[in-house]
Amino acid sequence: MLILPTILFAALLGACQSDEAADKTEADKAPAEEKASEAYTVKDDRGQELTFEQAPETIVSLIPSNTEIVYALGEGDKLIGATDYDNYPEEAKKVERVSDSVAFNAERILEMKPDVVLAYSTGEVAPELAQLEDADIPVFVIQSATSFDEVYGDIEQIASVLAAEEKGEELVKDIQTQIQDVQDKLAAVEEKKDVYMEISPSPEIYTTGKSTFQQEILNHAQVENVFEDLEGWPNISEEEVITRDPEIILTTVSYVEDAIGDIKARESWSTVEAIEDGDVYFVDSDITSRPGPRIGEAVQLVAETVYPELMEK
């Protein structure tokens, strides 16, 4: 994480201060927009260096988390292209759709001629991006985040691309403060509750495991993920949930009519503690599934769901 330190200048004695020093002081006070007009170079997660003569004025984002970061940095008015799933904040819904988060409309993006395309990678870079780069459209690729530190890094990278480093620093600090506030309230937790998080329903059940940012959400909310021993987002069986017997079940599934009712109706799960006690809850899938600026809100949401009595204080 590249956090730029605040530089404090000592005042010189008035009688000895030269005109040159005074000029330098005035230069340091130059408005951010003037500094943003200077050429600068940034490096993406491919190791590719991109040089900008001035801060981008038009942006295309190919994943919702990057879109949310752009808005959180106060640069949302520069977005001219987004994905079908970009629904936060409300203004994002008005941005032209050029991608479904997997495939994108290269022809339309070429017509737009954006100053930068914010792309992403889950391991391999989409070969179609070369078509944009061959047309001299800057493409900045970010590796999909699997931890909070990587989310903070993504924020700082995008802030650097947009010549908004100070805003990036402030945003990261605000998120960290929100998470710390939650953890302060949960300091009284003596024994973490066992939680199962379902991100895809029966018959193809998927959950979250270690090496994911969702696992970090659960960690910071002081809950024990019953599938923390598994890697990534594993496909599991109903029998495995029965065996691990979670106290609480959280579901992020928003594309079925009644996700909670579906879980409670699974006949073989009738003896699971969470089912017996009625502790099955829906948590907003966008907030808990996007490695972006709302991770602090995600921690708070899970904490409020699992430990409502502590979070009300």
Q: What is the pLDDT of residue 22?
A: 39
Do residues 273 and 243 touch, judged by C-beta distance below 8 A?
no
Cα separation values, 89 from 47, 64, 70, 76, 313, Å: 31, 10, 10, 9, 28
| pTM for the full predicted model | 0.86
Structure token pair of residue 39: 């050429």
C-alpha–C-alpha distance, residues 213 and 199, integer Å: 14
Q: What three-state secondary structure class fits 235?
A: strand
- What is the CA 36 to chain-centroid distance, rounded? 25
Terminal Cα distance for the chain, rounded: 33
Q: Chain-centre distance of CA 129, in angstroms? A: 22
Residues 180, 185, 191, 194: is their CA dihedral positive or negative? negative
- DSSP label at residue 104: B
Residue 9 has pLDDT above 90, yes or no: no
pLDDT in tens, 12-36: 223 333 333 334 344 444 444 555 5
Looking at residues 282-290, what average pLDDT do you find?
96
Q: What is the pLDDT of residue 24?
A: 39
Assign 98 to helix, strand or coil. Answer: strand
The answer, yes or no, to whether residue 94 has pLDDT greater than 70, is yes
* pLDDT tens digit sequence for 115-156: 999 999 876 777 889 999 999 999 999 998 999 999 999 999
Contact yes or no for 270/284 (Cβ under 8 A):
no
Q: Which of 300, 288, 294 is nearest to 215 (CA)?
A: 288
Which residues have C-beta within 8 Å of that of residue 306, sequence separation ≥ 6? 193, 195, 221, 222, 223, 248, 250
**Is the distance from CB of 56 to CB of 116 less than 8 angstroms?**
yes
CB within 8 A of 161, min separation 6: which ones? 42, 50, 52, 56, 116, 118, 140
Please state, in angstroms and rounded to a whole number, the distance separating the CA atoms of residues 32 and 4: 15
